[in-house]
Structure 1
């Protein structure tokens, strides 16, 4: 497996322009842990049953001059991982760490501090806050709700379409509604957000989707993604959302920090009281 998020990003970005054969080559490199000496063109031709020309076309679509340059980048990525974590031997451990590092670096590139500070201020100003999400996105919504509740915020997290409808009937311009959808294809969440907006609420969507979203929302927060992140077979799908909500939480905590810290202390349960 390649231990370089930029190299993986290049492959992922080129997937749409690849043939089915080239996609299978990309998938192999993203998922298989090989020693650099096993990446020679002759070995890959035998292992993948492809031609030298296919390897060259694959490498060029990823932005390299040829397969040799691609292997050189693989070597650099492996050396960097070995230097950062010399004590790690198991490839699965390295894969998980690499996936987290990849998402953190991507998230760093996407962060819009002004946008997240504005959302923190909206949380401060709102009388009521609702979080909408389904599946793994709902888990991130519930986690954020619990953290804000401990700072005295009146909020609720909802994860089914009926609840979205019922709550929207009582939404006012003093409310804030934040939707969580990795794909931005969960129609019930997006439609509920738009309905809340028509009732005057501020609306925010957290999503990995960078294409235009056909809904009128106040803010769309773009979060980091990895291929098939929503499948949950690499790392927890909610991690990139929690990364962003942690930043919003930090900004929110700084607004009247003394008062919020006092409220937080009051929520700490003494073990002897359990």
Structure 2
């Protein structure tokens, strides 16, 4: 597996697939600042009242070949963290910085430039573009509307079920609908995006569960995530979306750049009478 600078994020990412006992082991490694002497399989098994075989299964759930490989990465991660954040004292600050570090690393791995260029061209070719999102995703939808309308795109951001329904009723094949759902489980957004696809419009989904929907929409863009990011527990759930959308914006701006910059300047700096 790819080595992570944040072993905590790696553990958290796999917790939903763990049994109750494995999740208890995971929480132990998340909560404790452990050193090498604490990490023998015998010591941890006795401390948590589990078998050494259970530690092996836990390690494999996290993507490692076994417990020894997990410990090796755990210790490397702690050393890397301590070197990176020498000036940071609070564990709360470290946890937030680690989350940002892991989201950034994951985003680098997930970037598909060809796909983002295709989506930029879909925006360029569309007569109208609609952004669907609720909660934090709705804020991202509004942000993209504001940025693209300054470049001359006819677009709208919708954040409520009624507005989704009304918009779907007027869609045409030359429209583009872009949906944002970090969890991929926001029923109103997902159902509305599927309805837009059925109506013949081009559709794009931004989600951490994009792989589950790659056959259902025109494009499905994977987003980085750490456990419970969609709840905004430690860092803003908007961050992984805005990370990729900034790249998408850059690709879109390059299509007929001079015309777009002229529109942007007229919008931002209108001529004085």
Q: TM-score, normalised by structure 2?
A: 0.84
Cα distance change, pair 191–63 in 1 and its aligned pair in 2 (3 A): closer
Cα distance change, pair 191–35 in 1 and its aligned pair in 2 (3 A): closer
Give the match for residue 263 of structure 1: 263
User: How far apart are the structure 2 equivalents of 1:256 and 1:211?
Assistant: 31
Q: Give 1:60 deviation, angstroms.
A: 4.7
The farther-off stretch of 185-194 and 175-184 is: 185-194
Give the match for residue 36 of structure 1: 35
Question: Residues 150 and 264 of structure 1 are in contact (CA less than 8 Å); yes or no, is this contact kept in structure 2?
Answer: yes
Cα distance change, pair 179–62 in 1 and its aligned pair in 2 (3 A): closer
Segments of 5+ residues of structure 1 without an aligned counterpart are: none
Matched, 1:85 2:85: yes
Cα distance change, pair 27–107 in 1 and its aligned pair in 2 (3 A): same
Q: Give 1:178 deviation, angstroms.
A: 0.5
Question: Residues 36 and 74 of structure 1 are in contact (CA less than 8 Å); yes or no, is this contact kept in structure 2?
Answer: no
Cα distance change, pair 230–39 in 1 and its aligned pair in 2 (3 A): farther
User: How far apart are the structure 1 equivalents of 2:121 and 2:179?
Assistant: 17
User: How far apart are the structure 2 equivalents of 1:93 and 1:118?
Assistant: 38
Question: Residues 9 and 227 of structure 2 are in contact (CA less than 8 Å); yes or no, is this contact kept in structure 1?
Answer: no
RMSD, aligned CA = 2.9
Q: How many residues align?
A: 267
User: How far apart are the structure 2 equivalents of 1:201 and 1:59?
Assistant: 44
Secondary structure in 2 matching 1:153: coil
Question: Residues 176 and 202 of structure 1 are in contact (CA less than 8 Å); yes or no, is this contact kept in structure 2?
Answer: yes
Cα distance change, pair 39–258 in 1 and its aligned pair in 2 (3 A): farther
User: How far apart are the structure 2 equivalents of 1:202 and 1:56?
Assistant: 46
Q: TM-score, normalised by structure 1?
A: 0.84
Q: Deviations over 1:157-181 (max 9, x none)?
A: 1011110111122212221110111
The runs of 4+ residues in structure 1 deviating greater than 6 Å are: none
Matched, 1:194 2:166: no
Give the match for residue 99 of structure 1: 99
User: How far apart are the structure 2 equivalents of 1:190 and 1:77?
Assistant: 37
